[in-house]
Structure 1
Amino acid sequence: MEKKIKQVLNKYIIVLALILFHAPEIVAQSISAPSTFTPVPCSGGASVQYAGAICLNTCYYQNAAVEFTYTGFAGGTFTLELSDGSGSFASPTILNPSGTVVASSPGRINFNWPQTVAGNTYKLRVKCNAISLTGSSTPPFPAYFKIYNDIFWLNNQISTALVCSGGGGYTLSVDNPTPNVQTSSPANYPSLKYKWYKGTSPAVLIPGEIQKSLTVFSDGIYHAELDYGVCSDQSSITRSQNVDVKFQSGSGSFTIASSQGTSFCPSTPTVLSTQAGYTYQWFRDNVAIPGATSNTYTTGEGGSYHVQIGQGSCSATSNTLVLTPTDFNLSIDAPSSFALIPDDTRVITVTTDAANPTYQWYTGTPLVAIATETNASYTATAIGNYKVVVNQTGTGCDFAKEILFTITEGSLAVKIPNVISPNGDTKNDVWEIPQEFISPTTEVLILNSVGEIVLQTKNYDNKWPSNPIEFKSINPVFYYIITKEGAEAKKGSITVIK
């Protein structure tokens, strides 16, 4: 019986051996982990295998590639998957969304790095869609896209901050002078994180501080860096300047200076300045100037200036500086608004002591230069808005001043009154004529009944009679003649009643 059992087993072993020796070769299907290559920089150049972190910027994230091998199948369409920053493939990013057809091993996939990578444990893996086979992943690696890759500044680019002790801490903050220009400051990218350091050689990281501002409470040299992990840079790129913060018990004594001296040309404004590092409020003629809160203030206006430095127990007031801009006198022989009778004209003349003056007259809304009117006088013929600009030239301090005036439509001469009653009741006590008959070029002449001149003037002030008029048996009658250059004289009578 035992002999028969051994014979049967031997037959099965022989059959199994024949099957194994004559069966087709069986090979396992697999995809290797990809080898990463750096992107080609904007200036061109060959890709090389990259060991370590993937540090990207706007000129260095495109035209990257991976290579991989596979066995056990003939090829197909492959996709390249990127994990999240923690290494999870739960929701991978497909770096070649359309897939890449590979017919033989090794395969190569070209792609662009996402501009959102910011982490230390990314992984890559290759997947073949045709057979639903996923390859091995790479070891974890850091990857950062430097969305802002330039220097930046703190607190208006100061190098020293002198802070009042007892007034609380001092806040360092990333400058953002042009928030409408996104690339001008890292503060325009809310997703960015920062690393703050104190000291030099070496600078010591301040733990837990990742925002764009930092409040400090002790002396020290501080700076900020953009946090790009291992891709961060201790050089001037992606790093702020050093700020030496010094706390002290008092603000001390401050003096202000003027870059142009106390007498300056209005066309070259002067810069007032004092020691940097505090809080400031500038004053002109003892009135606070809105927005003037830096250690410098630029002005083209004369006046008495000082600056209040600091606050509370550390506040101090600077010396007072009186600025006197170079100036010249300018006037015209017309009020800021006057009337002009239809079809009438009026000559307006400039009076000035400007050196080597030039003239330009303007009219319209908006005001436009009248090309041919460049003399000291201008003959107005129409209502509207006007301006004359006078430039002082050839003195080393060339600047301009202007005068605006308006001409309205005047009334006709029929409104010249012919009766007055100077009885002290404030009604019709004086002879008042329309404004269009009052000017340096219009003469007003008043005569009594026997032809004697009782008033002869230009620029009549609407105050005749200034003295009591004697009444007899009849009401006195006077006669007027109004003469304006280039116009027909206006004549009439004035009856004086009680």
Structure 2
Amino acid sequence: MKTISFYGVFLTLVMCTLLAPNTQAQVLNKPTPADNPNLAGNSAWTAACASASFNEYYVNFTWNPPLVSGDNEFILELSDANGNFSSARELDRATDKNTEFDFDFSFALPEDVQGDNYRFRVRSTSPSVTSPSSDPFSMYFIGYNNPILVSQDGSGVIPPGGTLQVCDGSSIRIETHNVPDANTYQYSWYRSGTLLSETSNALTVSESGLYYVEIDYGIICSGSANTLSNTIEIVVATSQGVAIDPPSQTTLCATETVTLDANISGMGYLYTWFNGANIVSGPTVDDSSYVVDGSVTGFEGDYSVRIEGVGICAEQSNAITISSAADYTVSRGNDASLVLLPGQNQNLTVSTTALSPTYQWFRNGVAITGETSASITANQAGTYYAEVTQNGGACTLPPKNSEETTLVLPNNFEVIIDYVGTYSDCSSDNVTLTVLQINALDSGGNRSDVTSSLRTAFTYQWIKDGTNLPGLTSDQLTLNDVSDNGFYTVEGSITTFNTTSNPLGIRLTSDETLAISSTDLQLCDGVTVSISTTTDLTGESYTWTRDGVTVSTTDTELAAIETGTYQLSISSDGCPIQSNEIVITDFDASIVEIDGGNAIVFPEGESETVTATGASAFEWYDEGNNLLSNTDSVTLTDEGNYLLLASVGACQITRSFTVSYRDNFEIPNVITANGDGINDLWVIPNTYSRNTEVSVIIYNEKGEEIINENGYENNWPQSSVAFTKKNQIFYYKIKNARKTLRQGTITVIR
């Protein structure tokens, strides 16, 4: 009787399927959760509760013949939170499973996934077939996993004792204040243990109770988080309608008082009395009255009272205005300092709100006989003021003096000039000079500011570097050109007085530009970088700097032999003109990259286009030094050693790489470690072996890792390895940084 192996039957069926007419379509079964091979145990997940510390899940997928096309890809897709695939997102893609009818996808849960009705499906590309969708699953990315803090309006201030008060049907808003991107989550709010309908991070409350919140990660995943917040107690209180009883009077003389009484007294409440925004009494228990004293300076104002206590709303009354019955003002009608020029007088005045006022003028503290009106004509130097007395009204008030006015008999004048606004030497491109102040000087050298009264009475002449400027005779001068640079004064004249101001130096910046350029921006062996300018430096005072330090004051063209930031500065009218900066760096060879790396593998009989980046010119050579291409890419068909010569400016770099054909054999699942030199080692295709970006991991039957290395050298098992069984099974996984490329078993026969 002839024996036929299962593998042979299966292969025959597959070949028959390929050769026979395609009378049936592929069947893609719905995907199901799978065990994570990187975790202990052996159970599939029932809900995806991912976080920054764990986010690796597997989905099992099976399908039935006929075979798909060789270029087919299987794509694992995720629905939205309602199970809808109209905007499906890709989780994983398998390009090498076209002959495997049972395999696992791996994926990481996107950080915005939040819901209880997500579904999976698998889609093939050639032919285009879609599997049934999976069962619904709770899937949440737990982005925040700490206790939440809530406060009124999210202010971050947690109230003393955790209690907030709500008054008379009003409401307050409590909100999270420590959750980043708070609006990206759904929340569960509770009042005294009862779940509320609000799902945002803020809650408006008007009922008493104990309020707290947690992030809603679903029935299953919420147990994986610890977001329960602090508790805020809301107490509903009642308004008392506090007011101030109408007082007996609202205007006071200096000798009078009035008592203000709140319409609520006693009750153990705290009373705080205010004059405007200022507290004048309290908070004091049962202090429901306040006495306003007319003899206290500043007693006038708007008085109110605030009450607060257990079970009531804190509230403040409307204000009662208390004013002075007979206060009056006295105002001076002229400047504080005036000048008595030869042969001139000055008229001094005061005004007042006093009823039936009388006046008395004083000079140097002595009453002036007969000067009892609201004005006086003065012709002597001295200090003047008027005393005003009110002779009507309900209150008797003391006299008030006006502000003093000083009349100066000048011995000379002082004119002070200054810049208008901000001026900086060698930085500003325009400036205005102005007469800032005029002082009258008496015989003792004492100064009196008479600017406001005499500024327009003076005549002026502006002077630059000792020379009068024709026609420039106002009290201001505007300069806006480097030709205006120099030292300025102004001569001021009035009657017989002439005086020259303080000097001011002006150095405006030039609008001249200075540009430098270089032959290259990088230093490398055999390359000299030259920095120059198109500006003629003949006869100029200039400086070359590197990193702010002078390197030359004589070279019209600079040879840069060190890295750094270079700049040229020219002195113009004592002001530096700065050029642009040029940064010279060491040549960085790492910027030139070949997209296939230094070992390129492709199937024999095909070709591979290799592209380089990071340079401005490229030359590709084979082993015989033949130029293959002078663009950024080259198409290769033969194995061998190749060379790229890349240029970046004047700097050059070489990159060597090898081309080899990909092995046509599959990954073996049986080796015979019997030392006969035939099939003793587990040899895998060049696509995976000796590739530093590919990891090869081998496990024993117990799941213990015995090999984990990059750039596997096709050298397992070593001759020293002892096997415990005649036919011992091992497991392997081949991965790159992004995904598992291949996995399976190895049977060692000895």
Q: Which has the higher strand share?
A: 2
Higher relative contact order structure (alpha carbons within 8 Å, sequence separation ≥ 6)? 1
Normalising by structure 2, we get a TM-score of 0.30
Task: Give the structure with higher Rg (CA).
Answer: 2
